[in-house]
Structure 1
């Protein structure tokens, strides 16, 4: 679609308002993450890798170097350089895979995890306070919406 969409109906205006709010939320998240890059002396790709590892850790999922490459859409050579850089700076450790003796996983160091929560803790708490104002059915709709929007933007 190469033409600008102009809402006509009340429903289309509501859709446009929600999409504006999604963009504003995305901008706010970018600004929040941008501050951490400087605090932790890392580039945007490094921070993306750490954020992905935090999310996977919260779901109790192991992260392989291949997972990092796929998530960031970078080559295995670039992934090796990134992981070397994060290891040397003390942000991650490479460890044996818990079930596959041939494989390795990458995990956050405690220092990196603490820096992440030091930087984002207040903001994460503020976000939780907002979310707690909604009931379970509202939160289920919001969760479904955000998940489907994420899949529409990035289907992989």
Structure 2
């Protein structure tokens, strides 16, 4: 075996280790969200909708029903049922779009936001603490890596 084969083998092993880490991370996220679903008495789609709204809200983005349907890969009818269920549960409101009064946007209620962070807040603090030792360059690499993996998984 020449040196290039050894380097390639080391690289392949490192790539495989990274991919295994992604799987392990994904499994841990699944377990965490399963626990949250149980604690919040929600199904997986309901919790995914709340998570999406929390993230989009933090970025200052408005969310229309179509955006939610696309993100969750569900039909218009399923989206309507989901929105009805979460509205009835006090998790969200359908408000007029700020720029187009004919359109509606989906907005989290204060109660939904508080309940989400009551269940997720401690974990969020622990995750922030886990990232504290990384310098800015390392964090940028992590963000780039996770974004690239997300795009591959989404088929982009």
TM-score using structure 1 length: 0.92
1:111 aligns with 2:108: no
CA deviation map 1:58-113 (0-9, x unaligned): 10100100001000111111100000000001111111111111110011111110
Runs of 5+ unmatched residues, structure 1: 1-7
CA deviation map 1:22-57 (0-9, x unaligned): 111111111111111112211101111111111101
State the match for 2:63 in structure 1: 63
Larger radius of gyration: 2
User: For 1:84, what is the secondary structure of its paired residue?
Assistant: helix
How far apart in 2 are the matches of 1:139 and 1:42?
Answer: 32
State the match for 1:15 in structure 2: 15
User: For 1:105, what is the secondary structure of its paired residue?
Assistant: strand
The structural deviation recorded for 1:120 is 0.8
State the match for 2:136 in structure 1: 136
Q: Say which structure is richer in helix.
A: 2
User: For 2:55, what is the secondary structure of its paired residue?
Assistant: helix
How far apart in 2 are the matches of 1:60 and 1:131?
Answer: 24
After the TM superposition, which segments of 4 or more aligned residues of structure 1 sit over 6 Å from their partners?
Answer: none
State the match for 2:153 in structure 1: 153
TM-score using structure 2 length: 0.92
How far apart in 1 are the matches of 2:46 and 2:97?
Answer: 22
How far apart in 1 are the matches of 2:100 and 2:131?
Answer: 39
